[in-house]
Amino acid sequence: MSELELARSRFKDLHESGCFVIPNPWDVGTARALGRLGFQALATTSAGFAFSRGLPDHPDALTLDAVLEHVGEICESVGLPVNADFQSGYRT
């Protein structure tokens, strides 16, 4: 099983086991800290990412490319499943 498939399976298992806490790191440092605290999954935060850049929490404040890069950095920084917050979904 690939690393991605394993993460998907673990994330699915968390949902099937009942309630669990999924914190929202706003950068790589907080993602790593939350992982070290024992959280089993993380979720990105559009507001936290925008605010960390001095921007408002608004769908037009961050480009899709910037969000994808940010989500990628969070994913690469921890060996945990990560749920992505895409605000309005960046519809065109």
Give the model confidence (pLDDT) of 1-42 as tens digits.
787 788 888 889 988 988 889 999 999 999 999 999 999 999
Average pLDDT over the chain, rounded to whole? 90
What are the structure tokens assigned to 26, written together? 């706003």
More confident residue, 86 or 70: 70
Domain contains 92: no
The residues, any chain, with a CB within 8 Å of residue 78's CB and separated by 6 or more, are: 31, 32, 34, 35, 42
Is 60 inside a domain boundary? Answer: yes
Domain limits for position 77: 3-83
Q: Does residue 32 lie in a domain region? A: yes
pLDDT, tens only, 41-84: 999 999 999 999 999 988 889 998 999 999 999 999 998 999 99
Residue 41 included in any domain: yes
